[in-house]
Amino acid sequence: MLKNDSNLWEWTEWLNLTITPLINCNRVRYYSLYNKNNIDMIDIEYFYNNSWNAVHVGDFKNKDWQIDNLGGSYNISKVRVRFYLRGCLGGFSAKLYEFDFYKLNI
């Protein structure tokens, strides 16, 4: 869960996930929850080919699976996620519940 206690729209810090061992895949799906009045974008980057690759920045499905196609098959070793949200007294939070990697057998 990532949180913002201010009243301004801003990106949260990155939530970094490490994948061991590497997963060779061509698409990823994730499940998250948010309040549209206070969170309006997600930024997900995947680490492959020795660099971070921005695959999805923008709207995302609430309480439903969202699929990101990677545009090819890659060995994924890390994922990082952040949300664009507006805080208030007490803060708002976005929740990322799960990632599924479509593993390819090569």
Per-residue pLDDT tens over the stretch 61-77? 778 898 999 999 999 99
Q: Domain-by-domain residue ranges, the chain? A: 2-103
In angstroms, what CA-CA distances link 49 with 33, 34, 75, 86?
Answer: 30, 31, 8, 34
Give dist(CA 102, CA 24) in Å, integer: 8
Q: What are phi and psi of 91, to 5 degrees?
A: 80, 165
Longest dimension (CA), the chain: 50
Does the pTM surpass 0.95? The reply is no
> How far is 26 from 13, CA to CA, in rounded Å?
26
CATH code of 2-103, in short, is: 2.60.120.260
- Give 4 or 54, the one with higher predicted confidence: 54
